[in-house]
Chains A and B, each alone.
Chain A
Amino acid sequence: MVTLPLSALNLKLVRDLWGMRGQSLAVAMVVAAGVAIYVMYQANLESLRDTQRAYYANQRFGDVFASLTRAPRTVADKIAGLPGVTAVEARVVARGSVTIEPHEPSATVVLVSIPVTRRPLVNDVLLRRGRWIEPERRAEILASDGFASARGLAPGDRVTALINGHRYRLTIVGTAISPEFVYTIPPGELVPDDRRFGVLWMNEQALASAMDMDGAFNDLSLRLAPRVSTSPTASAVDRLLAPYGGLGATPRALQLSHWFVDNELAQLRTFGLLLPSIFLLVGAFTLNVALTRALTLQRTQIAALKALGYGNAAIAWHYVKWALLIAAIGLAIGVSIGSWLGSALGGLYNDVFRFPELRFRVPLRVLIGAAVLTAGAAAAGAWSAVRRAVRVPPAEAMRPEGPARYRQGRLERTWAPHLAIASRMVLRHLMRRPLRALSSVAGIGLAVAVLMVGLVFISVIDRIVAMQFSRIERQDATVVLAEPRSSAAVHALARLPGVLAAEPERTVATRIRAGHHQRAVAVTGISRGSRLHRIVDHEGRDVPAPLSGLVLSRALADALGVSPGDHVMLEVLEGARPQRDAMVEQVVDDVFGVGAYMDMQTLHALMREGDVSTGAQLLVDPRQESALASALDARPIVAGRSFKRQVAQSFRDTMSANLNTTTLINLLFAATIAVGVVYNAARVSLSEHSRELASLRVLGFTRGEISAVLLGELAVLTVAALPVGWMLGYGLAWAMVQSVQSEVYRIPLYVSHRAVAWASIAIIAAAAASGLAVRRRLDRLDLVAVLKVEE
């Protein structure tokens, strides 16, 4: 006797699946798309979270951060004595610029002091290359790894740094990273740019003397014992630092780098569950459609199995295994594609986030999660199909099913007479199984939506760039002064090469309180009749500054829980630190940052000062931009400067690099779903109607004419899916935008016609391709064989 490696029933399972391999693969691909997204997002989430946790712990990342004007080191000891504080690191932090080669554009840097005889107690620096600075060599520095590699700097290289108006020749002895600077963006900019911005760690004494800070500090971070809450400590720090120009303590949650990383993790968490769920739902529907049809064809076989003595449970399990096997194929494909895409996404994160080692791996947890989700979807998809097939009593199942039942509804009597016969067939096929048609529509609609979301993001970014850099920002360059100066300083800037016009800028560090909410924020003075510096909403409209009171950006108003007419407490953190009640006159819908604005004269009056500026906005002759950059760098009074053209370019480059990748991935997923759903619908329709279509051929209909019936059905499904997809896409885009909405970005949802059109065209093309693939089977329709047998 021959022993089968598989039981007879399992052998049947394998052969039956092979018989419908095209369709099985189509369904498996839809499942695979869901699995791939799940694996891609969840594995990156886990990798990022684990890496972040270990990095923060190893490098003693701070819990509270504070900046101030200047305080003696004894103040830090007082803070170290606060309850719950386990470590304090007081340091000097400064802004400067660095020139590497004389003809190359200089870079903005943040200089952070580090102790030389011990490692920092908080925010320890992790050496990547080279060595730690030597105590006696004051000109040695560590450069941030990203900056060093972007500018081709290696240990041993020398740079010229401009600090507090003085030039220093410094030697890079090592490159390093720090948990404080996982994500770095140049001050006042939107995206990272490692070529133009870096961090330099410098000998504590050397930097202190360069900044006239001997025995003093202007920045502090601390660590808390486990389970100690940050806010009482932050308030205590604020009280202790207030006399020294404290600018308000920031909890870790609002620390810029950490905030960005956390925001990314939150997005991965949301979309890593939402998107796969939607995809797997479509997979379950597709599986249900395929299986329902396959089981109808197996009707007599089921009867025979029952006659042979197989019980309902055994037969049901046999067919559930069909579903599970298809799902398992989808799982395998999805895990491999997901791991591959996941490591590509991990690569993007490695470019953006500076972690010691962001090693992408797919943890077992994620694999188990994917398997459970997939099995769940498969079982859900199989359930109704299998139950229906198994429930039929054997004697009834032996007989063929009668002609499909159609009935003329009242609604139909109104439209049917106006349609050609073929169109009536198409519509009746669809209306006979409305749920199935709806699930196909939803599936194709999802494909449209997935693609649309990606394209919407491109149009949103384009719009932001267009708005921000051509309508909102009129200046070509922005200059930040090292300390408040009289307007004469700004007039001096106006005489520099290439400057066509200069307008003074006054910002004041404040804390705004409303009830129990508070935010540290810079209030900007707006001059009457200013041409460059204005309050502008996200549509580019000028918002006039009120004579008294504040204008707040939407994000700030929301964070403080205030609306126009409400009063807030304005605490100035500079100079005499006046405190004043102020009314919120207006809230403006803008795009970037947390802004607060006041009339310039009102601000001067509040500060009891004359014509003081903290910076300037310039109109610049583009041909003299580099000459101006050098001139600005040479002036000690200038702490920072940025040129709009460079900022815009870097923004565009960063965004397009990311968006190109994600759009391609979206396109792949969308096409997979569209092809899977449409191909499956076409195969099922062909299987159900092959007899009718053969009859039509016998009656003298041409291939083209019967194709119209089959493809017409797909066309109706696809056309019906487009508006569904648009709505779904709008909803998904809205959800995406909401999830990235923050105090840094407020992205306006802008759905361009282009995005909608391209998403629709791509999905129509995918649907047409899969329809045509099935259409080829019509040519092989065996007219005689089909008509001779009973269905």
Chain B
Amino acid sequence: MSTQAPVQRATVFDIQHLTKTYRVGELEVRALRDVTLALTAGEFVVLLGPSGSGKSTLLNIMGGLDVPTSGHVGYQGHDLATADESRLTAYRRRHVGFVFQFYNLIPSLTALENVQLVTEIATDPMPPGDALHVVGLDDRRDHFPAQLSGGEQQRVAIARAIAKRPTVLLCDEPTGALDVSTGIVVLEALERVNRELGTTTVVITHNAAIATMADRVIRLADGRVTANEPRTIKAAARELSW
């Protein structure tokens, strides 16, 4: 548990008047409407909201997987909204770590090799073994995904995401496919990464219990930010239950 007072930290994301509209078949869906927010370095942020509230769209835009229809997405002084495909690729390559609900490991690579996949192309990576150590998987390094449990696979995904020492770690429902106890082990890993590496971490969930471990909780509904609340008292992951 940490109760330290908020100190003045650098802004990592400066998002202003962000809208995103896309078409699904004949329908026009307004996924984000005039979203404005800022994230600072080292924050652990939880994005809460029901399905279709726009949280994944926001995360994808922050991660350089998607571009907004209008608005400004400032990342350390660069505007991601106007970046082209190759600059977004480079951005993801250097600065972003992703964790997904369904892990998205490469089945043909072992745990260690999945991490090496990233360390081979990163500029200042940590040794792949260290990344696995952070998530507590030293003894599973030579296992293929099919030989790992869901929780283990998700921890490998976290190790893979952090091995490049990303500035931001973006997690889309990281515990969505896991049971409670396994989910908590995964959240502990995220907590540890945030604490020890100081990585700005954004976790999407519709599980309100997870919000209690955040520095800040942002609630979205119908494409708008409905609440943006800093928290001073953080619960530890192992104390959570749902």
Contact = CB atoms under 8 A, between A and B. Distances in A.
Size bin of chain B's contact surface:
35 or more
A701 B121 contact: yes
Contact of B116 (A421, A696, A700, A783): A421
B89 interface: yes
B60 A784 contact: yes
A692 interface: yes
Given A698-B92, A783-B65, A692 B106 contact: yes
Given A700-B92, A700-B93, A787-B102, A407 B108 contact: no
Given A421-B117, A784-B60, A429 B90 contact: no
Interface string A686-712: 000001101111111111010000000
Contacts of A691: 104
A694 B60 CA distance: 14
A421 B111 CA distance: 12
Contacts of B105: 403, 695
Nearest to B94: A700
A784 B146 contact: no
Contacts of A698: 63, 65, 92, 98, 104
B117 A403 contact: no
B3 interface: no
A428 B160 contact: no
A406 B121 contact: no
Contacts of A696: 106, 117
B13 to A, nearest CB: 18
The CB with the most chain A CB atoms within 10 A, among B56, B89, B106, B113, is that of: B106
B44 interface: no
Nearest to B115: A421
A408 B144 contact: yes
A425 interface: yes
B108 A428 contact: yes
A432 B146 CA distance: 13
Interface in A356-387: none
The CB with the most chain A CB atoms within 10 A, among B91, B121, B147, B164, is that of: B121
Interface string A412-450: 000000001100110011001000000000000000000
A104 interface: no
Interface in B111-157: 113, 116-118, 120-121, 142, 144-147, 153
Contacts of B50: none
Contacts of B109: 421, 424-425, 428
A691 B100 CA distance: 12
B171 interface: no
A425 B96 contact: no
A790 interface: yes
B142 A700 contact: no
B89 A702 contact: yes
B100 A424 contact: no
Contacts of A700: 89-94, 96, 118, 121, 164
A343 to B, nearest CB: 50
A6 interface: no
Interface string A492-525: 0000000000000000000000000000000000
Interface of B: 56, 60, 63, 65-66, 86, 89-94, 96, 98, 100-102, 104-110, 113, 116-118, 120-121, 142, 144-147, 153, 160, 164
Given A403-B107, A696-B106, A700-B89, 19 more contacts: A403-B146, A404-B107, A405-B146, A407-B147, A408-B110, A428-B108, A429-B108, A692-B104, A694-B104, A695-B106, A696-B117, A697-B89, A699-B117, A700-B93, A700-B96, A701-B121, A702-B86, A784-B56, A784-B65
Interface of A: 402-408, 420-421, 424-425, 428-429, 432, 691-692, 694-703, 705, 783-784, 787-791
21 contacts: A403-B105, A404-B107, A405-B107, A405-B144, A405-B146, A406-B107, A408-B144, A421-B113, A424-B108, A428-B108, A429-B108, A692-B108, A698-B98, A699-B117, A699-B118, A699-B121, A700-B89, A700-B90, A700-B92, A703-B89, A790-B102
